Amino acid sequence: MTETVIVVALLLVAASATAAVAVRDPVRQSLVLAVLGVVLAVLFTVLQAPDVGLSQLAVGSALTPLLLLLTVRKVRRRGRSGQGGQGGQAGPGGQGSAP
C-alpha cells in the first residue's frame, strides 16, 4: 500500500513539473508552480518527512508563486508606462529613468 501511494505521488510530481515547464504564460506558470509545491509537500509527507513537507508547503506553494505574480505584475506595469514616454532613451547620467 505504501509503495502505491509513493508511486502515485511521484507520478503527480512528474505530471505537475512537466505542466509547469510546458505552460508559457507567467501567471499560469506560477499557479502550476503552486500546485507543484502542494504535490511535493504531499510526497514529502508520504516519505515520512513532515517537517520538509511543511517547509515546502509554505515556500513552494505560497511564497514563491506570490513573488512571481508580484514580479510579473510590476514588469507589466513598467512595460505599459514606458510605452508612450521617452521611448526607452537613457535619462541623465546615462541610465534609464526611474519609475
pLDDT of residue 95: 56
Mean pLDDT on 9-15: 96
Q: What is the mean pLDDT of the chain?
A: 86
The pair phi, psi for residue 88, each rounded to 5°, is: 80, 10
Closest CA to 7 of 42, 59, 32: 42
Q: Is the pLDDT of residue 93 over 60?
A: no
- The residue to which cell 516519505 is assigned: 47
- The residue to which cell 502505491 is assigned: 4
Q: Is the pLDDT of residue 90 over 90?
A: no
* pLDDT, greater one: 1 or 91: 1
pLDDT tens across 43-84, in order? 999 999 999 999 999 999 999 999 999 999 999 888 888 765
- The pTM assigned to this predicted structure is 0.74
38 vs 79: CA distance, rounded Å: 32
